[in-house]
Structure 1
Amino acid sequence: MTLPIQVTFDCADPAALSRFWNEVLGYRLDSPPPPYESWDEALDAWNIPEERRNDASASVDPEGNGPRLWFQRVPEGKTAKNRVHLDVRAAVGLQGEERMAALEAKADSLVVLGATRVQRHEPDGLNFGHIVMQDPEGNEFCLD
């Protein structure tokens, strides 16, 4: 039996980072639990004060295939390179210049959303080429 996974991001602004990754991956905010019709309704019922309503956020694949993403507010900022990172598969099946052009186009669109481009890695014998990026809070990910 396989178990589902959730990828957790420590961050300063869970709502904003969740929106960023929703745009990158085509995800959406997770729905509130029944019987609530909205998150505001749920948070009101749970007596969560306004200043705590951005302590966490969750994003899901609308088709139910990808892992759930959990964003949790932490007081400290990022201080070192990620030990684990996401590879966003933006050019599956493409090779050479066609692949790198697709990755460049995706990188450009993500920069508009607040990502930072870090480094381009050219194709070689073992690597088909990829671009290292950072999300708006500095978490590294690759366009692969």
Structure 2
Amino acid sequence: MKRMRPSRRALVFLVLYLALVLWATLGPVPWSGHGYQSPNGVLDWQNWLEPETWTIGLESEMFLNVVMFVPIGALLAFALRGMPAWVPVAAAFGTSLAIELAQIPMADRISDPRDLAANAGGALIGIVIARIADGLRMAFARPAAPQERAATERRLTTTAR
């Protein structure tokens, strides 16, 4: 069975898309970003337990956070092919956490557990979609012809010497 290799193209798109996401999440906002934020943002464990954290806020904002991170998850999965599934999951969660931590000292941004959960959920959806796409690609890949297999075996035996 042919093993899928990491995608350099996905890595390039990931870097470009991450730059766009960082600009959107950490760049200056043209509107006033007033809202409640505890001094420690997502690091304040009480924020995670307060019902207002999960019930107050626009549903569209949460949806957009999910949608924004689906490509990050998919691109991470393609760029990190061949690695265990937890690696792109950890990278996606780490990216979201880094953004939320960077927002804590910013006056016009709010570090919110809902955002962290929505971002991580969106990335997880992207990773699952990418893994399914890779599985389908492998399932429908053309098997190697006998001549190709023989040539590959010859190359492997000559390089092993």
TM-score (norm 2): 0.20
Greater Rg, structure 1 or structure 2?
Answer: 2
**Larger relative contact order (C-alpha < 8 A, sep ≥ 6)?**
2
In terms of fraction of residues, the more helix-rich structure is: 2
